[in-house]
Amino acid sequence: MPHLSSLLGFALVSLGMVLTPGPNMIYLISRSITQGHIAGLISLGGVALGFVFYMLCAAFGITALLFAVPYAYDALRFAGAAYLLWLAWQALKPNGRSPFQVHKLKVDGPRKLFAMGFVTNLLNPKIAMLYLALLPQFIDPVQGSVLTQSLALGSIQIAISVSVNAMIALAAGSIALFLGTRPTWLLVQRWLMGTVLAGLAMKMAFEAKRA
């Protein structure tokens, strides 16, 4: 199993990323506001399956391969830090767009909702970067099986992301109304998440490689 500090660190990264607007959040909010909470949760089921797909890919070979390639850890460490800084800028840049400012979507059936959620997550660069560049940095071969650590970390990410996205989908309409009348709160959320992501990026960039 991963060390407790690795579990907590990856949980914090996962929370910061799920709270940062991206394709998954925008799609789920749009779907929930347009078609209702049930449609949003069905779409979230597809998103969750996409998380499982990425986790299994990382666990069964990709992570182990990256650790076997010389200098791969450092390359991924700096790539992951750069991506977190880019996400921080997206949150902090002037005139940033709120994910709750959505467009109407046409009404779709359960199968299509699930499939669209799955495809949206598979094509989400934020999730690909999370599993390919960030997750490997929280794995320490000294702590045991790379496969077990990958599955444990991936399960934490899935649990956090699904829980947060479910709450957002259920409260999308109310949150959109609240932020629409209180823009200061939206600004506070953007600066808070941007600061957290920037701090994580700096920590990652200057962290020494594990033995």
Q: What is the pLDDT of residue 46?
A: 95
Torsion over CA: 193, 195, 200, 205 (sign) = positive
Residue type, 125: P
DSSP notation for the chain: ---HHHHHHHHHHHHHHHTS--HHHHHHHHHHHHH-HHHHHHHHHHHHHHHHHHHHHIIIIIHHHHHHSTTHHHHHHHHHHHHHHHHHHHHHSTTPPPTTS--------HHHHHHHHHHHHHT-HHHHHIIIIIGGGG--GGGS-HHHHHHHHHHHHHHHHHHHHHHHHHHHHHHHHHHHH-HHHHHHHHHHHHHHHHHHHHHHHTPPPP-
* 0.75 exceeded by pTM: no
Q: What are the pLDDT tens digits along the chain (211 aa)?
A: 777 888 888 998 888 888 877 778 878 888 888 888 899 899 999 999 999 998 888 887 655 555 566 565 666 667 767 766 776 777 677 766 555 555 566 788 999 999 999 988 887 777 877 887 778 778 877 777 878 888 999 999 999 999 999 998 888 767 766 666 666 766 776 677 677 767 767 776 776 544 4
